[in-house]
Amino acid sequence: EAMGYLEKTDRIDASIIAHYSAVKKIVPTPPPSTAQQRLTALVGRLCQVVGDATVNKQRRSAARDAETGAGIEAMLAFLKREERRLEGEIASRID
C-alpha cells in the first residue's frame, strides 16, 4: 500500500523488487569460489572442534572415576590434534 498498490500479487512483487534493485543499483554477488567454500567449511569445522573440546573439558571435571576420565582425556587429545590440523590447513589456504 505504501507504493500505491492495494493488492499483493507475484507480478506486483516482482515489479517492486525490480524497481528497488534499479534504484539502489544492486549488483548480484557472485557465488563463492571453491576455495572460499572449502575455507568456510574448515573454519566451521574448527569452531565445532573447539566447542567439543570445551564440552569435554567440562565433562572431565565432572568425571567420577578414572576410567571415564581416561576416555575423556583420549577424546581431548584427539580434539587437540584435530584443532592443530585444521588451523594448519586454514593457515596454508590463507597465505
Cα-Cα-Cα-Cα torsion 41, 45, 47, 50, nearest 10 degrees, comes to -160
* Domains of the chain by residue range: 30-94
Q: Are 60 and 76 in contact (CB under 8 A)?
A: yes
Query: pLDDT tens, position by position, for the chain (95 residues)?
Result: 456 666 778 888 888 888 888 899 888 899 999 999 999 999 999 999 999 999 999 999 999 999 999 999 999 999 999 999 999 999 999 97
Q: What pTM was estimated for this model as a whole?
A: 0.71
CA quadruple 34, 37, 43, 46: dihedral positive or negative? negative
pLDDT of amino acid 71: 97
pLDDT of amino acid 25: 87
